[in-house]
Structure 1
């Protein structure tokens, strides 16, 4: 990989800065004044339901759309005034893996390195395959890869050229649970290497697992933002309650056939488990 560039130095002072961003499509107001700051080397999750404006915001930051109002800078470059410099500083991974299924994993990576006119494209491919635990599959056609492997390869391709900022737009859409975990590990590796990641997702557990900070986008606005602990602090305090848990039919069946030790009266006894729930204190 290349040595840290000026873009990396500029990104360290604030990788992404958004102020009052607006965007409408006809009469539909998608973004209504978005404000957002992303620190360099962090993972920030932009959390929202379908239609909240997540992808629109990312497309504006990636210079694929023009905002109607407001301002935004990425890696120290103004998105509207310096789009070429922004594109040199970022990589965008969309909702579906953009890989060539006919080529091998190694060939996909080397091809992108050649298109970027980088020296030693085969060496770059080998290093990225190792970084994302794809070395054993490097010489296989991508058509044989699992969904998680394809997404990891897609993310690896986005790192070619060593961009300081990466946008991941709903990277685990359509993946099974194991594949999602594989992608999560890949994203964590990006942050460990110092890459700034803006991740859009509609999965709450994904934001909880990955993000240093979470911004909730709703009806075109960031309605709250903070660490997971800060967001949890917005909720009322929890109390511990004990509830009776009745045996399931599976537990009864296993006890009857002797797969698990039956209780003294040959019927699985009710068990007790603890749960937590949020409660608000009522005023007197």
Structure 2
């Protein structure tokens, strides 16, 4: 007993320096962001004045921020619906006994392995009307097709969602595939004996057993979508106008382009609180879902 306590104490002493550094590098930026959010800090003009909740009031009256919030909601919902529906379908395909199955799974993961900035910059070229791969492919079926994808707000938003989905969908599908591997084949055999077809087996066996996996994955992927920055930064720079500026990109623009750090901090705090609430609700829902 004494020896075990001794080793436990040594273990904590070894871990403590890294733990303290981690706590400091996590808590200090959060506390400092909360503090700055109550000040009007404009670096270029040398202003550092306490304004209380004025920055937070301005957030909900700023048309640019409201546009960013609206697109962030559209981006998250559209991307996650695509991830869940297409991810489950792709996982079912990868779970089939196909020739060169391992090679196929590796190829599918290639988009996820690439950095988002690289993919976003390549997509900027791919969606070009004159020489882009997307329009060239469509013109095989419709030679007169013309679309400036990143010039119009609606198509630019769809393009951003499509690129995000293309990059992270394989990873989502592979994680769903891991859940499929744990479903016993005996269940499907029993269902087949009872006369259940493939579709009925999916809705009565596969989907219920995967529900918690899908929910937990959706929580993390949603949090990543809410804080997405690099795809917009490299692909559209928030344009055309402000139509594709995600809320994380808006924070960066206010902080490092406009040098309005107090206002940027207030937007970041609002984003932090929203994510905290969503995380709490999501984890609560996950606990209520049984395997």
Q: TM-score range by the shorter chain?
A: under 0.3
TM-score of the superposed pair, with normalisation by structure 2? 0.22
Identify which of structures 1 and 2 has the higher relative contact order when contacts are C-alpha pairs closer than 8 Å and 6+ apart. 2
TM-score normalised by L of structure 1: 0.22
